[in-house]
Amino acid sequence: MIDAALLPHIKRAIDRPARALVARGINADQITLVGFGIGLLGVVAVWTGLFGLALLCLLLNRLADGLDGAVARLTHPTDRGAFLDIALDFMFYGLFPLGFALHDPATNALPAALLICSFIGTGSSFLAFSIIAEKRGITSDQYPSKGIYYLGGLTEGTETIVLFVAMCLFPLAFPWLAYAFAALCAITTLTRWMAGWRVFQ
């Protein structure tokens, strides 16, 4: 919901470190892969109950997610990089709640399953819209620098990261946080379905 408003501020904040990485010969794909690896470490940290480490890994993963795009724009953006970025992002979003389910299956398994299911709704509607928008030559004014069409909604990247941070800070509240966010994701999915029905008629 607020990704488009935050994007210019994020770009300004990461421009200098991105330029430093380019000067050292580090490319965007390397940053994406390292960031995903750190994210996997965060999932393991959640599983083992090391929520402080999980939060650090989460923040580093998201930093890498911003830096890879900035580095790509400073060098040469590629379709492979855009694919890798979005594919690993969606995988990380599904794995992070799984860590809580593994940590306490009796309490967290059902809410984690519902949350991951809601992510399938938001993710599939997002990607399906993007594919057909690309086919029709439709572009997004809000996200002109993105490698694919970005369709917004009530729950976007920023809201999801705030959720994950809250889960790390208040792990006992995981079930209620998961249920509440899954409901918001359901609204996002419905609005994206409606947008696709309307735009692609």
- pLDDT tens for 29-54 read 999 999 999 999 999 999 999 999 99
- pLDDT tens for 86-108 read 999 999 999 999 999 999 999 99
Tokens of 160: 């999801």
Mean local confidence (pLDDT), 116-123: 95
Is the Cβ–Cβ distance between 155 and 181 less than 8 Å? yes
Residue 188: which domain range?
Answer: 3-199
Angstrom distance (rounded) from CA 163 to CA 179: 11
Which residues are CB-contacts of 192 (< 8 A; sequence separation ≥ 6)?
122, 125, 126, 129, 151, 153
Average pLDDT of the chain, as a whole number = 88
CATH number of the domain residue 8 falls in: 1.20.120.1760
- Virtual torsion, Cα 102, 183, 140, 92, nearest 10 deg: 0
177 or 130: which leads in pLDDT = 177
User: How many structural domains are present in the chain?
Assistant: 1
Cite the beta strand spans of 116-183 per DSSP E. Answer: none
For the entire predicted model, the pTM comes to: 0.86
**pLDDT > 90: what percent of the chain?**
59
Name the pLDDT band for 143 (thresholds 50, 70, 90): low
Mean local confidence (pLDDT), 104-114: 98
What amino acid is encoded at 67 in this protein? L
